[in-house]
Structure 1
Amino acid sequence: MPNILPKPQSQQIINKSLELSSPIKLYANNEFDLAADFLTSFITSGSGMEVMFVDQLKDATIILKYDEGIENREEYVLDINENRIKILSKTNNGAFYGVQSLRQMLPFSFESGNYSEKKVELPCVVINDKPRFSYRGMHLDVSRHFFKVEEVKKYIDHLAMLKFNTFHWHLTDDQGWRIEIKKYPKLTTTGGFRDETLIGHYSQEPEQYDGQKYGGYYTQEEIKDVVAYATKRSITVIPEIEMPGHSLAALSAYPEYGCVGNQYKSATKWGIFDDIYCSKDSTFTFLEDILDEVIALFPSTYIHIGGDEAPKKRWEKCNECQSVMNREGIKNEHELQSYFITKIEKYLNGKGRQIIGWDEILEGGLAPNATVMSWRGDEGAIQAAKQHHNVILTPNSHVYFDYYQSDDKDNEPLAIGGYLPLEKVYNFNPISKELSIEESKYVLGGQANIWTEYIPDFKQVEYMFFPRAIALSEVLWTYDNLEYKDFIYRLSIFEDRLDTLKINHFTKYKD
């Protein structure tokens, strides 16, 4: 049985094999150009084998073919017999996932370009496969620590290999603003940097700092490049522009949009800060201008607007915020947050986009069309689904990959805290037992988050990602028959692929 991750829904082994030899003749329907291009590049760069495109089905060794009988847009059939390989789907996405499964059946040395033979033998198999959830996401925080474009692309490569379809790009926070906005250049030239960074853990006393200016940002051309790169790998990039809280970096550049007149600075330590956007009218003009440029860069239906961890202390004493509350008949500051989020949502809806917010957007009343990303357990998801709002599960109990993955914390890289072993990730179920069958339809899927307060370089991102993200990919893709022991067996084989790719990954789960 092929050891494919995430596990396909159905696999039927035929006791025969196919010898694939160079030159490989490939036929692909036009709508499958991205899947065909990826497969061609993978084979030619990974081996000594040549791939030739042919116009006739009868001449082909590998066929990527449209099949209107397939219902799910991410579904595929991978059929390997003694004479040819056929991948059937109705969309490029499905064909791409079929290619990823075929990729995992090829020798590991294809990943490093070291397969030098002119032929390869594959087992004959019929795989029928489709995902359990339509939203299968991974998040990366580039605000606390910044990662280069090539590293972000490598992260996207990791997602594509595991059939994730969404990259949640956390681009702004208190510690750094990472996306160029041409109308407000100081967002990056000032807000993109902090004076220094906390050394050690947040809880350590006395606090120590490195004294080194830190920062960076992505130009709009770099953003476009990353989005195009992800699109070629069937991944949607969802940007997150935090509001009304987690906004110190923006306020350091444009203090007039805060509630107090003092000079703000990008945060040099982690945590939650009292200073947030003021809810006056000029702030919305500022944010709408920013979102206009964001929309032009990201074709995703969703824009994530944060909404979490926004203390109301400044609003309570701000004359302009209190004036807005009086004008709009708003009873308290929680309702003011709802007003804030709803106003932003209405603007984005008018541009043909939808918002996602962390579960705090439920406070004071949920914006009409918002999708809730529930991180503080599943209570927010349950509440939103019962109100017939779409939800995405990302509870810190099961999918916060900045937590320790070993209970031997003294011998692990410094992390924010918590303990999230591989098996707990594998036991994650996005659908709560408290939801009815009808209510559970509002659960779009799940996502893991990698917050980077304590993750200063990309090697450590990979270490926290693998193998937990592999477990999550299977939870979100595969319907049933999930067995941890079987998963570990397949993972132990897959580790050779990770090693061939020179991916830094955690291994102590086997102890």
Structure 2
Amino acid sequence: MKIKIKALLMMLPMVVCAILSYAQSTAERYPIIPKPQTLIARKGEFAINASTKIVLNNKDEQLKTAVSFLVDLVNASTGFQLSFVENASKNVIVFTLDPGMKNEEEYRIAISKNIIDIRSKTAAGAFRAVQTLRQLLPPQIENKQVVSSVKWTIPCAVIQDAPRFEYRGAHLDVCRHFFPPDFIKRYIDLLALFKYNTFHWHLTEDQGWRIEIKKYPKLTTMGSWRKETAVGKTTTGTPIMDRQYDCKTYEGFYTQEEVKEIVKYAQDRFINIIPEIEMPGHALAALTAYPELGCTQGPYEVATRWGVFNDVFCPRDTTFKFLENVLTEVMDLFPSKYIHIGGDECPKLRWKNCHHCQTLIKEKGLKDEHELQSYFIQRMEKFINSKGRQIIGWDEILEGGLAPNATVMSWRGIEGGIAAAKQHHDVIMTPGGFCYLDHYQAKSENEPLAIGGFTPVEKVYSYEPVPDTLTQQEAKYIKGAQVNLWTEYVATPEHVEYMVFPRSLAMAEVVWTTKANKNYTDFLHRFKKQALRLDELKVNYAKHILSDAK
């Protein structure tokens, strides 16, 4: 018996090595991010060639949109003109809508040498399946020109998959720095590749108003530009006399036609865009254009440095009418169920010294300025609800009493999310320590300037959106999580990509994959393969973790 035990112990390292080797080879053959719920590997490959056909078993325009994405991708890089046919028994990719599936984005892919059979409940699920096929194809599939030297094969497997969370979001601030429409589309494309379904577009700030509102043209003629921009770290603690500026006018905004085009572009990739119009704070750009909306009534100036400013919207009837008119135009542009109204970082100094605000507090029987902010948010919520929409706000909207139907985005840690869930309000988790991509991601002297903090890929990957202090019933109100990129120190599209990728891939797995299926080492092996895809797409991603993925 002792001899057998000793022999087994001697074999143990070899067994462990074999298991790790198999796991690595599986990750290399099936480098899907986020990791599917179940994947059964099969021998063989499906080869795409000039004879490959597409069959749609349902006459559904959205399904055709989802599948056309695959057709266009393959046609551009392979030169094969995949065509739709009514029936085929081999060398065919078949899409079927299956109403029996439970999850709206669930899909099943059975890949054999002759057929790829894809079933999903909705067209959105079919599109997620397409992204899985895309990731299994050689990375050269991303090339926009014909590549003749590649075998276009997909490894055989059976994949059953569905997201863990219904909300999987990525945010981009275009106010501190503006990014052109073509880059916004590229950003959406990259989110779609890794199965994000929500783009949170932060459109108004102290430093610039970035969306055309036809009823109020001065929002863009005056509010979309600033006379100069602070250089270096100027957020806090820097004496005014020591601040440096670039002395260059900075401007930019999206026309309503550009917004419509981007919204449609996102819809075709099954991504919902949530617009954010900040209130009652972060309002300097709007106040510069329409000073009568502030407590002091100006004059104001679009902010040229970063930080939080005391001048905010004054809760007058004229202000509410202005915001209602703005949001009416915004809602006409964005079909999203949710409209983000900010609600964060609203100093109360002006309200404390404003005769109108203090009179309103007494008239409404409010306790203080925090309850005045709650009154402000609840009044705007009633208007947005009357249009069939719902509000999302940062967790400060909890202060003074939460609006009845509000969804809370918890960013100052997880406490706001816990409090909202215990009140049975929907929650999107986005705590700064795990989800803020404006933090440094490597301890290197070569890292570009960031706002601070240290959030490497592994820390993002380690995040668990459901706090263990919630009951099973309360946990149902955690609808998902989101990564955020604020752009005080991010001035170019290339820098955006550097900050977002690959950390957004880690979050993609957090919000899609079950806890039991997550494994950071396995993620690294899969990312090493997907990095080749990012190379083909010419994404300026941070390469720190490639050395860890050996």
Do both proteins adopt the same fold according to a TM-score greater than 0.5, normalized to the shorter chain?
Answer: yes
Query: Which of 280, 291, 296 is the aligned partner of 2:316?
Result: 280
SS at match of 2:153: strand
Supply the distance in 2 between the matched residues of 1:123 and 1:59 (Cα, whole angstroms). 16
Counterpart in the other structure of 2:479: 444
Counterpart in the other structure of 1:165: 197
**Aligned 8 A contact 2:48 2:91 in 1:** no
**Tell me, which stretches of 5 or more residues in structure 1 are unaligned?**
none
For the pair 1:435 / 2:435, whether they are aligned, the reply is no
- The offset of 1:111, in angstroms, is 0.6
Counterpart in the other structure of 1:489: 525
Query: Which of 189, 193, 197 is the aligned partner of 2:221?
Result: 189
Supply the distance in 2 between the matched residues of 1:59 and 1:227 (Cα, whole angstroms). 37
Query: Which of 253, 261, 264 is the aligned partner of 1:217?
Result: 253
Deviates more, 1:39-48 or 1:138-147: 39-48
SS at match of 1:365: coil
Query: Which of 492, 511, 514 is the aligned partner of 1:476?
Result: 511
Deviates more, 1:464-473 or 1:56-65: 56-65
Deviates more, 1:111-120 or 1:442-451: 111-120
**Aligned 8 A contact 1:22 1:119 in 2:** no
Counterpart in the other structure of 2:488: 453
**Aligned 8 A contact 1:27 1:60 in 2:** no
1:259-297 superposed Cα distances (whole Å, 9 cap, x missing partner): 003211110000000000001111000000000000000
**Aligned 8 A contact 1:373 1:394 in 2:** yes
1:272-325 superposed Cα distances (whole Å, 9 cap, x missing partner): 000000011110000000000000000000000000000000001111111211
**Partner amino acid for 2:408?**
V
Counterpart in the other structure of 1:94: 125
Query: Which of 426, 446, 452 is the aligned partner of 1:417?
Result: 452
SS at match of 1:279: coil
**Tell me, which stretches of 5 or more residues in structure 2 are unaligned?**
1-25
Supply the distance in 1 between the matched residues of 2:148 and 2:99 (Cα, whole angstroms). 38
Counterpart in the other structure of 1:61: 92
Task: Write the mapping of 1:244-393 to structure 2, written as runs, cut at 5 A.
Answer: 244-393=280-429
- The offset of 1:386, in angstroms, is 0.2
**Partner amino acid for 2:347?**
P
Which one has the largest radius of gyration? 2
Supply the distance in 2 between the matched residues of 1:79 and 1:151 (Cα, whole angstroms). 35
Query: Which of 70, 81, 84 is the aligned partner of 1:50?
Result: 81
**Aligned 8 A contact 2:91 2:114 in 1:** no
Supply the distance in 1 between the matched residues of 2:395 and 2:36 (Cα, whole angstroms). 32
Counterpart in the other structure of 1:126: 158
1:232-277 superposed Cα distances (whole Å, 9 cap, x missing partner): 0010000000000000000000000000032111100000000000
The alignment-based identity, stated in percent, is 54
**Partner amino acid for 1:452?**
T
1:10-56 superposed Cα distances (whole Å, 9 cap, x missing partner): 00111222222213211123321111110111101121211111122
SS at match of 1:21: coil
Counterpart in the other structure of 1:109: 140
What TM-score comes out, normalization by structure 1 length?
0.98
Counterpart in the other structure of 2:9: none
SS at match of 2:200: strand
Deviates more, 1:153-162 or 1:62-71: 62-71
**Aligned 8 A contact 2:51 2:91 in 1:** no
Supply the distance in 2 between the matched residues of 1:270 and 1:12 (Cα, whole angstroms). 51
Supply the distance in 2 between the matched residues of 1:284 and 1:56 (Cα, whole angstroms). 58
Supply the distance in 2 between the matched residues of 1:497 and 1:145 (Cα, whole angstroms). 28
SS at match of 1:418: strand
**Aligned 8 A contact 1:406 1:419 in 2:** yes
Supply the distance in 2 between the matched residues of 1:44 and 1:114 (Cα, whole angstroms). 8
**Partner amino acid for 1:182?**
K
- The offset of 1:166, in angstroms, is 0.1
1:186-210 superposed Cα distances (whole Å, 9 cap, x missing partner): 0011000001000111155611000
Counterpart in the other structure of 1:34: 65
**Aligned 8 A contact 2:89 2:115 in 1:** no
Counterpart in the other structure of 1:242: 278
What TM-score comes out, normalization by structure 2 length?
0.91
**Aligned 8 A contact 2:133 2:154 in 1:** no
Q: Provide the aligned length of Structure 1 versus Structure 2.
A: 510
1:93-144 superposed Cα distances (whole Å, 9 cap, x missing partner): 0000000000011111111134226962322111000000000000000000
Change (3 A) 1:243 1:380: same
